[in-house]
Amino acid sequence: MSRISLSRFLIEEQRQHGALPPDLRLLIETVARACKAIAHSVNKGALAGVLGEAGTGNVQGEAQKKLDVIANDILLEANEWGGNLGAMASEEMELPHSIPDHMPRGRYLLMFDPLDGSSNIDVNISVGTIFSVLEAPEGNTQPTEQDFLQPGSRQVAAGYAVYGPQNMLVLTFGQGVYGFTLDRELGSWVLTNPRMQVPETTKEFAINMSNMRHWEPPVRRYIDEMLAGSEGPLGKDYNMRWVASMVAEVHRILVRGGVFMYPKDARDPSKPGKLRLMYEGNPMAFIVEQAGGVATNGHQRILDIQPTGLHERVAVFLGSREEVERVTGYHKA
């Protein structure tokens, strides 16, 4: 069987379909290389002394793990000198990181959650990296925070890496979703999951049930109906999974279907959800839609939301079409 590496896949996409401009191809290759380095650190764990707390906090008041900081540094360093970026923004940094003056600049804006699911690092459960690429407004060589605040429908590429039993990279640039598995010996991402598709129906849901008492009525109704199983109004028995790593949940949904929810809840009424729109909600919504699934905040398509802040939160319902449309419908009822 001839193996298709990520580099070959991207070059062929650029040549054959013209779907991928050369500078975007190089940017994706750089992010993929950085994810390889992050995978290496995550996989080494205690052997490399990377587990545990960093002793610092991020802009959102969350304690940083050592690997949050390491992954952020790897992504910044790898992408700074490529010449394809105007600026980067991260869950771990309050403000965008400009490309230094002595480096060439490019037209793209890169956003990332360098290590998603950090609560799982120290217990050896899957974590991941999520990224999103936008274009800076034309002619803008000094992009600011404002330039990042574009709806997710304007993303030109998005992806995630999941560091689990296998290290995988899943990508879209608006022409379907492709999955690659890291061959650790060769250090190469190999195409293993071409044209990933989210099944339209499912019997599996993912939500943190411990927050039930804080949910809004439409979410309670939906979960109650699922829990009622085949005797209830939905007429089937459901199964539940909650990994607490969004990357792992989205990956499961891309492979075998499901619905993932992190709704708005009453714990902090000032926040519309826990997950961040720009580097969690948008890239995952782009990927899920490209794989035939649906992603909403309960009221509208996530990709249509006009962002107002780099770190703004969003409620997330994503996955198999039938279920996401059902719970979104309950919000409108």
Q: How far is the CB of 94 from ligand AHM (least distance, A)?
A: 15
> What is the Cα gyration radius of the chain?
19
Residue 257 or 281 with smaller CB distance to ligand AHM? 281
Total site size for ligand AHM, rule CB under 6 A: 13
* Options 12-20, 109-117, 265-273, 287-295: segment touching ligand AHM (CB under 6 A): 109-117
Interaction of residue 244 with ligand AHM, rule CB under 6 A: yes
When CB distances to Mg ion are compared, the closest residue is 116
CB nearer to ligand AHM: give 8 or 97: 97
The interface partner of residue 290, options being Mg ion, ligand AHM, none and the CB cut-off 5 to 8 Å by kind, is: none
**Residue 234 or 244 with smaller CB distance to Mg ion:** 244
Is 201 or 208 the residue whose CB approaches ligand AHM more closely? 208
* Sign, CA torsion 87/88/93/95: positive
Between CA 182 and CA 79 the distance in angstroms is 20
Residue 208 binding ligand AHM, by CB under 6 A: yes
Q: Is 92 in the site for ligand AHM (CB under 6 A)?
A: no
136 or 287: CB nearest Mg ion: 287
- 268 binding ligand AHM? (CB under 6 A): no
Binding-site positions for substrate read 116-119, 208, 274
Secondary structure (H, E, C), the chain = CCCCEHHHHHHHHHHHHCCCCHHHHHHHHHHHHHHHHHHHHHHHHHHHCCCCEEEEECCCCCEEEHHHHHHHHHHHHHHHCCCCEEEEEECCCCCCEECCCCCCCCCEEEEEEEEECHHHHHHCCCEEEEEEEEECCCCCCCCCHHHHCCCHHHCCEEEEEEECCCEEEEEECCCCEEEEEEECCCCEEEEEECCCCCCCCCCEEECCHHHHHHECHHHHHHHHHHHCHHHCCCCCCCEECCCCCHHHHHHHHHHHCCEEEECCECCCCCCCCCEEHHHHHHHHHHHHHHCCCEEECCCCEHHHCCCCCCCCEECEEEECHHHHHHHHHHHHC
Half-sphere exposure of 180 (CA within 13 A, CB side): 29
Binding map of ligand AHM across residues 175-194, x = CB under 6 A, - = no contact? --------------------
Work out whether 117 is an interface residue with ligand AHM (CB under 6 A): yes
**Which one of 246, 259, 302, 314 is in contact with ligand AHM (CB under 6 A)?**
246
| Comparison of 91 and 147: residue with beta carbon closer to ligand AHM | 91
User: How many residues can be counted in the chain?
Assistant: 333
Show the site string, 51-70: x = touches ligand AHM by CB under 6 A, - = not.
Answer: -----------x--------
- The span of 82-90, 116-124, 151-159, 317-325 binding ligand AHM (CB under 6 A) equals 116-124
* Distance, CA of 38 to CA of 59 (rounded, Å): 22
Report yes or no: 174 and 156 within 8 Å, Cβ to Cβ: yes
The smaller minimum CB distance to Mg ion, of residues 75 and 226, is found at 75
Of the candidates 64, 118, 132, 172, which one interacts with ligand AHM according to CB under 6 A?
A: 118
Verify binding: residue 245, ligand AHM, rule CB under 6 A.
yes
Least Å distance between CB 113 and Mg ion? 4
Pick out the residues of the known binding site for Mg(2+): 91, 113, 115-116, 280
Q: Binding residues for ligand AHM, per CB under 6 A?
A: 62, 91, 113, 116-119, 208, 244-246, 262, 274
